[in-house]
Amino acid sequence: MPFFFSTMDLVLLVPAMLFALWAQWKVKSTYNKFSEVRSRYGRSGAEVAASLLNRNGIGGVNIGRAEGLLSDYYDPTRKEVRLSEHNYDGNSIAALSVAAHEVGHAIQHKLAYGPLNFRTTLFPVANIGSSLAMPLALLGIFMRMPMLLDIGIVLFSGAVLFQLVTLPVEFDASRRALAQLQSGGYLASDEIGMAKKVLTAAALTYVAAAAVAVIHLVRLVMLRQGDE
């Protein structure tokens, strides 16, 4: 059995981890910058979310607060848009961009957008996989039990697939958000570019998460092949 930590980890993991750290810094710095820029029309994130839902004929979706910074999400099972406090009450470019993005997911849900439905179906499998895969893989490595490593690889593959499916879902929600903000007159024309910067930076975190997950899976597969 090869060592779990090797020079290959430096080749595979370090660049991905550095990219992930840079992506986190990028989204936080971009969000902080544009959270200080008040939108010209003065609407709050919650008001824009409610207006966008109504504009797209989406009923029965609750808008509430989420705890923590950048903890915003749309729950398709409960039909809820949750906005962090700064985005719920705030009227900055960043707040409106994030609120519109989450409504973008609600629009996807209404239109039965395939990748969103697939991701929702995958979520329970991915949740189990992300929790159990690595412990089982490590046990398989250190106890020299290839079957446990195989199970870990299969479970982690589900988590990786979830991360990959998340990419088109998030990019599409951002595309819809920008289109809605522009066509609905929620932002002035010179503010759209700022909103795009916020959403582009946020998307980098999903790209980084997917890259790290894929590399972890490659490492596990390589370890398994080295045991043969």
Would you give the DSSP letter of residue 38?
Answer: B
For the sheet containing 62-66, what is the strand order?
62-66, 80-84, 73-75
Choosing from 47, 102, 170, 191, which is the catalytic residue?
Answer: 102
CA dist., res. 214 & res. 111, Å (int): 30
CA dist., res. 184 & res. 181, Å (int): 5
Close Cβ partners of 21 (under 8 Å, ≥ 6 residues apart): none
B/e letters for 209-222, b = 16+ CB within 10 Å, e = fewer, are: bbbbbebbbebbee
What angle do the packed helices 114-142 and 146-183 form, to 10 degrees? 150
Q: Identify whether 80 is a catalytic site residue.
A: no
Active site residue ranges: 102
